[in-house]
Amino acid sequence: MNLFYAAYGFSLCLGLLCVLFVSVWSSYWRGGFAWDGSFLQFNWHPVLMVSGLVVLYGSAAIVFRVPSTWKHRKYIWKLVHGGLMFLALLLSVLGLCAVFDFHKAFYIPDLYSVHSWVGLMTVVIFSFQWVLGLAGFLFPCTPLWFRSTIKPFHMWLGKAILILSLTSCISGINEKLLLTLNGSTGELYSSLPAEAKFVNFLGVLIVTFGMVIFGILSYKKWQRPETNEAVHPLLNDIRP
Amino acid sequence: MNLFYAAYGFSLCLGLLCVLFVSVWSSYWRGGFAWDGSFLQFNWHPVLMVSGLVVLYGSAAIVFRVPSTWKHRKYIWKLVHGGLMFLALLLSVLGLCAVFDFHKAFYIPDLYSVHSWVGLMTVVIFSFQWVLGLAGFLFPCTPLWFRSTIKPFHMWLGKAILILSLTSCISGINEKLLLTLNGSTGELYSSLPAEAKFVNFLGVLIVTFGMVIFGILSYKKWQRPETNEAVHPLLNDIRP
């Protein structure tokens, strides 16, 4: 149990560091934020994607693992899980809007890089997963056979989305540094200026966060004990 | 069981397609292969990394899940697993040599991009995991408490390495296309020439392969039934 809280605390610290680092990158090195189609609007893209698609998503994925939640009704934590995931999805969609608006203003084609293909694939699959999760686990009228059938699929797809998120974020960070540092700033990425070191380290933080979240999800002993799985999702585990 | 073989067959097809696509990319669009420090030596890098660090690694990770292997002694499949992983590691190290030699010949600094940081991190952790696996599961003198302690860690780290591999490969493909298409060829990546479409699709194949491997690893019912876990790793499951 202590080991769980150590891992959980570590994941929270890493998540906060990721948000801090990506915000400092956008505000200190890239000039801050705006929503006007300029480079400053683009700066929302990494911040929203890292915060939503990686940190909030990863944190929402492990809420059922926290032992102090096991004494509450499970459906409360399903609502928390679904709510946090909705927020993660919202931030991700806003992050996409930021980059599409920026592209439009600068006549840059959309969706040409493998980063953008995998990134869009991530958000589309995430949207599908959220709707499926809502239909399968929160709608009162959902048949139980449907719920039990999709549960392993939901758990697998949840992990797969996190993998896609990590892949999208690292390839996106790499793309941004290659285009920016080798372009307008005059500082080559290959000369590893301070910004490059800082943001490369952000990349290491992001993948480490992902690995810790996978560790927490993988360790069977940390799973919430199953109770009354046969009854309805909104009624099971009716301890007060 | 039929669903397992469908997923397994799908993963094999995807893996073969990944190797085929990355080989066609390097040979048809990038001029083929050599080991002389030229661009043609670089071309070994994506082929060896995708083949070793993703496809062979992923295929080796799931050998214990194949039901037709369950009638054999487990240690035989441990040797197969360890052997395939060694081959995957060897290909990955050769892939690193290819890019380091190329950098040396062209005076390009090593290890400046987030792709290279995460990629090197992947191979270093993979090497550590292989040595740990050898010591923990194949050495006859290893105490059983050590084996049972590291087993969940080994399984988690194995998945984490696959995530890192996928992340490294996608960011590397993105980097290569950005530098090559926007550089010497005169065809902008953003205009999505045939090479870009083909290689972006390779990226989608790679992440899909990774997702299917995770699916196979995640589904509990497909795990090899545990037998005689208390006895020695080289002696357990002694059915002929």
Instruction: Identify whether B236 is part of a domain.
Output: no
Q: Can you list the positions of beta strands (E) in A76-205?
A: none
Q: Is A178 on the interface with B (CB under 8 A)?
A: yes
Percent of chain A with pLDDT over 90: 88
Residue pair A60/A81 in contact (Cβ under 8 Å)? The answer is yes
DSSP B52-121: IIIIIHHHHHTGGG-GGGTTS-HHHHHHHHHHHHHHHHHHHHHHHHHHHHHHHHTTPPSS-SHHHHHHHH
- Which CATH number is A43's domain given? 1.20.120.1770
Q: B175-219 pLDDT, tens per residue?
A: 999 999 976 667 899 999 999 999 999 999 999 999 999 999 998
Instruction: Identify whether A239 is part of a domain.
Output: no
Q: pLDDT value at position B227?
A: 73
Judged against a pLDDT cut of 70, whether residue B229 lies above it is answered with no
> Confidence class of residue B220 from pLDDT cuts 50, 70 and 90?
confident
DSSP code at position B38: S
Instruction: Identify whether A234 is part of a domain.
Output: no
Q: pLDDT value at position A226?
A: 81
For residue B149, the surrounding DSSP H or E stretch is: helix B144-181
Cα B184 versus chain centre, distance:
30
Percent of chain B with pLDDT over 90: 88
From first to last of its 240 residues, chain A has per-residue pLDDT tens of: 689 999 999 999 999 999 999 999 999 999 999 999 999 999 999 999 999 999 999 999 999 999 999 999 999 999 999 999 999 999 999 999 999 999 999 999 999 999 999 999 999 999 999 999 999 999 989 999 999 999 999 999 999 999 999 999 999 999 999 999 976 667 899 999 999 999 999 999 999 999 999 999 998 889 999 875 444 444 444 333
Instruction: Identify whether B227 is part of a domain.
Output: no
Q: pLDDT value at position B1?
A: 65
Domain that holds residue A29: 2-222
Q: Is B128 on the interface with A (CB under 8 A)?
A: no
Q: Over chain B, what is the mean pLDDT?
A: 93
For chain A, the residue count is 240
Q: pLDDT value at position A111?
A: 97
Q: B94-152 pLDDT, tens per residue?
A: 999 999 999 999 999 999 999 999 999 999 999 999 999 999 999 989 999 999 999 99
Judged against a pLDDT cut of 90, whether residue B233 lies above it is answered with no
Of A156, A164, A207, the CB nearest to B207: A164
pTM of the shown model? 0.94
Instruction: Identify whether B233 is part of a domain.
Output: no
Instruction: Identify whether A143 is part of a domain.
Output: yes
Domain count, chain B: 1
Of A117, A155, A200, the CB nearest to B114: A200
Pairwise CB contact (< 8 Å): B171 & A166: no
Q: A4-13 pLDDT, tens per residue?
A: 999 999 999 9
Q: Is B117 on the interface with A (CB under 8 A)?
A: yes
Q: Which of B50, B114, B149, B218 is the best substitution to test chain A (most A C-beta atoms within 10 A)?
A: B114
For residue A102, the surrounding DSSP H or E stretch is: helix A74-106
Amino acid at B39: F
Instruction: Identify whether B235 is part of a domain.
Output: no
Q: Is A180 on the interface with B (CB under 8 A)?
A: no
Q: Is A155 on the interface with B (CB under 8 A)?
A: yes
Q: Is B132 on the interface with A (CB under 8 A)?
A: no
Give the gap in angstroms from C-alpha A172 to the nearest C-alpha of chain B: 8
Judged against a pLDDT cut of 90, whether residue B71 lies above it is answered with yes
Give the gap in angstroms from C-alpha B22 to the nearest C-alpha of chain A: 14
Instruction: Identify whether A238 is part of a domain.
Output: no
